[in-house]
Chains A and B, each alone.
Chain A
Amino acid sequence: MRSAEGRGRTLDEAVDAALIELGESRRNVDVRVISEAPDETLVEVVVIDQATAPAGAASPANGKAEAARALVEGLLKHMGVRAQVTVRTGTDPITLDISGRDLGGLIGWRGETLRALQSVTNVMFGKNLAEGERVIVDVERYRQRREHTVREIALRAARQVKMTGDAITLDAMQAFERRAIHLALQDDPDVGSSSIGEEPDRRVVVGPRKPASN
C-alpha cells in the first residue's frame, strides 16, 4: 500500500503536497490528519488499493458516487467546515465518509446534525438516484461505529436470552440502529427481535423466538 506524508499551511496544501509526491489524484486516496497547528498541517495520504475496489470502477454507479462526494464537499465548504470527503469502497448503498479534525459539531446531539446533512444530501442529489436508492453520509465512521456497537449489544442480549429464556428490552434507539439489530438477529433460530413504544423512545425487545412450552 503506497502512502506519503504531506505538510502545508492548510489541509489542502498538505494533501496536495502528498498527492504530488505520489502522483495520484484525490479521488484515489484516503487522507488522515496527523497534526494540525495554526501554521502547519501534517497529513498521511494512502493510495486506496484499486484491486479491492468493487468491479466496474468506471461504472455509472461510481460516477454517481463521485458526484455525490463532490456535492457534500461543496456543502461543507459553504458551511465553513474543513474536512475531507471520500467514497467508501465496496459498499452498497453509496456511502460517503467525512473526516477531519473537530467534527463533533457535524455529528451533533445523538447524530442529529449528521442525519440532517444526510437528508439534505439525498434531497439535493435525489434526481440522480433510482427509486429507493439513497446516499449514506458518515462522519469519522460515527454511524459505522454505532451500528457495530448495537450489533454487539444485540448479540450479547441474544446470548443472555438463550441462557435465561427471558426477553430483554434495550435502550431507545434510532431507526438505523434498530435495523442493525433486526438484521443481526434475523438468522438466529432461537432469538428474535421486535420493537415497542413510540418514537423517539422506540426500543427493541430481544426475546425467545418461540415461547417455551412443554
Chain B
Amino acid sequence: MPGGRAAAQRIRKAIALVNAVADGAGDEELTPTEIAEAIRDCLELREIAQGSNVRNYLGEALDATSDGMPADFVAMTLYAALGALGESWSED
C-alpha cells in the first residue's frame, strides 16, 4: 500500500521533529510552525480518509501544536495517528 507508506513516512517525519524538540537535540531551533507544517503535510494526503481516526489524531496534534502544548503530548497524539494508520492497514 504505497499511499499508506507515504502517510506513515510523513507522520514519522512529524514525530521526529517533535522528538527533536522534546529531546533537545541541540542542533537547531525548531519552531512550532515547522512542526505544524509537517502535520499539515500529513493531512494533505488524500490516502488518509475524511473522518478516519488517523485524520482525527492528526487534527488533534495540529491543534495541540497551535495551542503550545508540550512536545510529548503532540508526540503521543502523532503516535496514536501512526497506530491508527497501522490498524487501518490491517483492516484492508
Instruction: Verify if B28 is at the interface (C-beta below 8 Å from A).
Output: yes
Q: A115, A116, A175: which has the most chain B beta carbons within 10 Å?
A: A175
- Chain B residues numbered 11-29 whose CB sits less than 8 Å from any CB in chain A: 12-13, 15-17, 19-20, 22-28
Q: When the two chains form their complex, are residues A195 and B27 in contact, meaning their CB atoms are under 8 A apart?
A: yes
The binding surface of chain A is classed by DSSP as helix
Are A199 and B16 neighbours in the complex by a CB distance under 8 Å? yes
When distances are taken between beta carbons in the complex, the residues of chain B under 8 Å from A176 are: 19, 23, 25
Give the residues in chain A near B57, CB-CB below 8 Å.
Answer: none
Interface string of B17-61 (1 = CB under 8 A from A): 101101111111000000000100000000000000000000000
B6 within 8 A of A: no
A122 to B19, CA, bound (A): 12
- Chain B residues with CB under 8 A of A122: 22, 70, 72
Given A126-B70, A175-B20, A182-B26, A200:B12 Cβ within 8 A: yes
- A135 to chain B: closest residue by CB: B72
Cα distance A122–B24 when bound, in Å? 15
Q: Nearest chain A CB to B58's CB is how many angstroms away? A: 16
Specify the chain A residue showing the minimal Cβ separation from B24: A179
Q: Of all chain A residues, which has the CB nearest B19?
A: A175
Chain A, range 81-96, C-beta contacts under 8 Å to B: none
Residue pair B16, A123 in contact (C-beta under 8 Å): no
Closest to A186 in B: B26
Q: Closest approach, in angstroms, between the C-beta of A142 and any C-beta of chain B?
A: 15
Contact (Cβ within 8 A) B22 A179: no
**Residues of chain A in range 76-132 having any CB-CB distance to chain B below 8 Å:** 112, 115-116, 118-120, 122-123, 126
A136 CA to B8 CA, complexed, in Å = 25
Q: Which residue of B lies closest to A204 (CB)?
A: B27
CB-defined contacts of A115 to chain B, threshold 8 Å: 15, 19, 75, 79
Choose from A134, A195, A198, A200 the contact partner of B25 (Cβ within 8 Å): A195
**Are B27 and A134 in contact (CB-based, < 8 A)?**
no
- Interchain CA distance A126-B76 in the complex, whole Å: 13
Pick the residue among A193, A200, A204 that contacts B16 (CB under 8 A): A200
Contact partner of A123 (CB less than 8 A), chosen from B20, B25, B28, B72, is B72
A45, B64: Cα distance in complex, Å: 44
A-B contact pairs, 10 of them (CB 8 A): A115-B15, A115-B19, A118-B72, A119-B79, A134-B22, A174-B23, A179-B26, A179-B27, A182-B26, A200-B13
CB-CB nearest 3 A-B residue pairs: A199-B16, A175-B25, A195-B27
